Amino acid sequence: MILHSNLRNLVVGVEEKVPLINGSSVTYINFDNAATTPPLHAVMDEIINFAPWYSSIHRGTGYKSLLSSDIYEEGRDVIKSFVNADHQKDVVIYTKNTTESINLLSYVLAEKDDKQVILASDMEHLANDLPWRDKFTIDYVTIDKNGMFSLEDLEMKLKKYRGRVKTVAVAGASNVTGYKNPIHKIARLAHQHGAKILVDGAQLAPHSPIDMKDHASPEHIDYLVFSAHKMYAPFGIGVLIGPQETFERQEPFCKGGGAVELVSHQFIEWSLSPHKEEAGTPNVMGVVALTAAIRTLMSIGMNVIDQYEQELIHYTIQKLTSIPDLRLYCCAEKNEDRLGIISFALPGIHHELLAKMLSYEGGIAVRSGLFCAHPYVEKLLGLTPKKLTYYQQQPDIPFPGLVRLSLGFYNNSNEIDLFIDLLSEIAQNKQAYKEKYQSEC
């Protein structure tokens, strides 16, 4: 077990200094982990160690090619173990990222039947919304007054469509509010009505345990997607996990070498999945990085990471509630089970300007805007269709949004205190800071 005090040492770049607007420099504080995380030392070491042995995979007979092929294929088993996928029935398909994974699945599941329905939710990232729109009838499970997923509305809509719902596509956790969705309860409801469930695990996988459960379980997760770049592993790879039988009928989304057994001008014999879905030269470096990251996360313990980040986020929420005028968009109840994500607004300072102030004044990285979850943030902000039309027709007027802080397991309470001090100072001296940035930025 790795102690909390040592977690920071596992991550590259945590002590790097960055310049401030006044000419000095400070140690960078990264609170933008929901967008992407810095790499682990173990990941970079594994990449460097593997680089001399890197070679093209599959069909090569040279030693390096055989070694690379074995590492590439063994990565699938590491990933399955990480989320408790079925090693016989499920396949792991390598993609570029979560977005490509969902686009691929939407293509595979699409049928020439306009009666098929996808149920997404009002809190989804655009990656789990837009790919479904042109292939299915799509409807959205509503959120409650706190912005949380409504199980009651899900059940109502499943009954409404009378078996026409093909898949319930839902985030494992929100990238805006940090709410964890009850994915196994959602799975049970979906299966009761003959539907499958896709979990977008991009936010959940780096921070909390995921259990896909046995295929015979009513709470089984049929499809799961996530990205390496949010799991301390750059090099551009994501995964789509699901039952092999799903991918047997459709032609591949991307066609080319590596996806076939034999081709002539008269016929095409496609490979079996997962290879059928991985045309072209595979990203073996990405697999090396992801598997190294997973092994490190598992050595820490996903429950340990989850508990530590929850302690840190509740500490942060407690501090934030003491700042005058600050509005939080993340708290349904005290000490709830959640990810280390907080979104907030400071009336009187536009979200983009506030994010810049935190960066330029304190070297603190946060995200601002709509976080690629536009409908969700628009609902949280109470933007009516009339207001949305107004902003769409007035592109020169800054669009409303939020500021988001998102934690990783390497962040600590000292960083939180520095952030709170600066944010409090800005809140107490809004006009002075706004005048400063009007002249200097």
Percent of the chain whose predicted confidence (pLDDT) is above 90: 91
**Computed from CA positions of residues 246, 298, 190, 115, in that sequence, does the dihedral angle turn out positive or negative?**
negative
pLDDT the model gives residue 189? 98
- Name residue, tokens 């600050």: 326
Identify the DSSP state of 249. Answer: S
Domain ranges of the chain: 1-39+301-439, 44-298
DSSP, collapsed to helix, strand or coil, labels residue 437 as helix
Domain spanning 1-39+301-439, CATH class:
alpha beta
> Average pLDDT of 163-177?
97
Q: Residue 22, class by beta-carbon neighbours within 10 Å (0-12 exposed, 13-18 middle, 19+ buried)? A: exposed
For 238-267, letters b (16+ CB in 10 Å) and e give bbbbbbeebbeebebbeeeebbbeeeeeee
How is the beta sheet containing 238-243 ordered, strand by strand? 90-95, 238-243, 223-227, 196-200, 165-171, 117-121, 137-141
- Name residue, tokens 């042109």: 134
- Tokens at 231, concatenated: 């799991």
Q: What is the DSSP string of 133-158?
A: HTTSEEEEE-B-TTS-B-HHHHHHHH
> Average pLDDT of 253-280?
92
Count the alpha carbons within 13 Å of 382 in the hemisphere toward its beta carbon.
3
- Name residue, tokens 């996928």: 85
Q: Nearest 5°: phi and psi at 336?
A: -70, 160
| The pLDDT of residue 67 is above 80 | yes
| The pLDDT of residue 441 is above 60 | no
**Computed from CA positions of residues 66, 67, 72, 76, in that sequence, does the dihedral angle turn out positive or negative?**
positive
Domains 1-39+301-439 and 44-298 share a fold: no
What is the second-level CATH architecture of the domain 44-298?
A: 3-Layer(aba) Sandwich (3.40)
Count the alpha carbons within 13 Å of 239 in the hemisphere toward its beta carbon.
32
| The pLDDT of residue 5 is above 70 | no
230/6 Cα distance (integer angstroms): 20
Q: What is the DSSP string of 161-200?
A: TTT-EEEEEEESB-TTT-BBP-HHHHHHHHHHTT-EEEEE
Q: Which helix (H) or strand (E) holds 311?
A: helix 302-320
Question: How many other CB atoms are found less than 10 A from the CB of residue 64?
Answer: 14
Give the largest Cα separation in the chain, rounded: 74
pLDDT confidence of 439, banded at 50, 70, 90? low
Question: How many other CB atoms are found less than 10 A from the CB of residue 232?
Answer: 29
Q: Please check whether residue 269 is in contact with residue 263, taking contact to mean a CB–CB distance below 8 angstroms.
A: yes
Percent of the chain whose predicted confidence (pLDDT) is above 70: 97
Closest CA to 172 of 232, 221, 218: 221
Q: How many residues does the chain have?
A: 441
> Average pLDDT of 321-334?
87
| The pLDDT of residue 438 is above 90 | no
Q: Please check whether residue 313 is in contact with residue 407, taking contact to mean a CB–CB distance below 8 angstroms.
A: yes
> Average pLDDT of 107-119?
86
170/190 Cα distance (integer angstroms): 11
CA distances from 96 to 40, 42, 44, 114 (A): 19, 21, 19, 29
pLDDT the model gives residue 111? 78
DSSP, collapsed to helix, strand or coil, labels residue 342 as strand
Tens digit of each residue's pLDDT (9 = 90 or more) over 352-365: 999 999 999 999 99
DSSP, collapsed to helix, strand or coil, labels residue 436 as helix
Count the alpha carbons within 13 Å of 168 in the hemisphere toward its beta carbon.
36
pLDDT the model gives residue 205? 98
> Average pLDDT of 57-84?
96
Tens digit of each residue's pLDDT (9 = 90 or more) over 139-169: 999 999 889 999 999 999 999 999 999 999 9
Highest-scoring range by mean pLDDT, 54-58, 328-332, 372-376: 372-376
Active site residues: 372
| The pLDDT of residue 335 is above 90 | no
pLDDT confidence of 4, banded at 50, 70, 90? low
pLDDT the model gives residue 330? 80
Closest CA to 344 of 362, 371, 375, 308: 371
Chain centroid to CA 98: how far?
A: 7
pLDDT confidence of 1, banded at 50, 70, 90? very low
